Amino acid sequence: MLRAIRTAEALGSQRIFSTLLAAHAVPPEADDADSYIQRCVDEILPAVDEWGLATAADVFCERGAFDVDQSRLYLEKAKELGLDRRLHGDQFTEIGAIPLAVELEARSVDHLEATGAEGVAALAASDVIGVMLPSASLVLDRPMLPAAS
């Protein structure tokens, strides 16, 4: 998919910013989340950077996906490679995605369905962009975020 994005950009006059979301879920062939994140850090992120396939890297920091320490390891490697950092976080629970995003100067955090007042205040005081995904809430029958239009 990243190669298709690169080709689409080359064929047109538009600038496309591609994001590698290699750490959305632990694939079935991986032993566990720790070993998969290590593979991302040792192999996947460097290869994507070497081939110039992405401008950013994204991780799903959530229970059942990747915890804060695993997400930090992934995003610190992305930063080392010069990639922008993004997170999917606080979709179901607050486990520390917002403080991590602020700490590592992420571009954005997507979802935010479970973000409380403290997390909202932390985002507001930072340069991190909060991105709501109402379609995800609809599909998963989750409460909609309270937001002004």
User: If we measure between CA atoms, which residue out of 31, 36, 1 comes closest to residue 19?
Assistant: 1
pLDDT score of 22: 96
Is the Cβ–Cβ distance between 87 and 53 less than 8 Å? no
Parts of the chain with a pLDDT under 50: 149
Amino acid letter at 21?
L
Residue among 28, 50, 30, 29 at smallest CA distance from 38:
30
Could you report the per-residue pLDDT of 85-125, keeping only the tens digit for each?
999 999 999 999 999 999 999 999 999 999 999 999 999 99
> In order of start, what are the domains of the chain with their CATH numbers?
2-139 (3.20.20.140)
Q: Cβ contacts of residue 120 below 8 Å, gap of 6+?
A: 130
pLDDT at 126: 97
Instruction: Identify the pLDDT of residue 85.
Output: 98
pLDDT of residue 42: 98
pLDDT of residue 149: 44
- Confidence at residue 14, expressed as pLDDT on a 0 to 100 scale: 79
Is this prediction's pTM over 0.75?
A: yes
For residue 67, give the 3-state DSSP assignment: coil
The pLDDT value recorded for residue 47 is 96
Query: Which pLDDT score, from 0 to 100, does residue 148 have?
Result: 56
Dig out the tokens for 149 from the structure.
């239009």
The reported pLDDT for the residue numbered 36 is: 98
Q: Supply the mean pLDDT for the chain.
A: 92
Q: 124 by DSSP, 3-state: which?
A: helix
Percent of the chain exceeding pLDDT 70 equals: 98
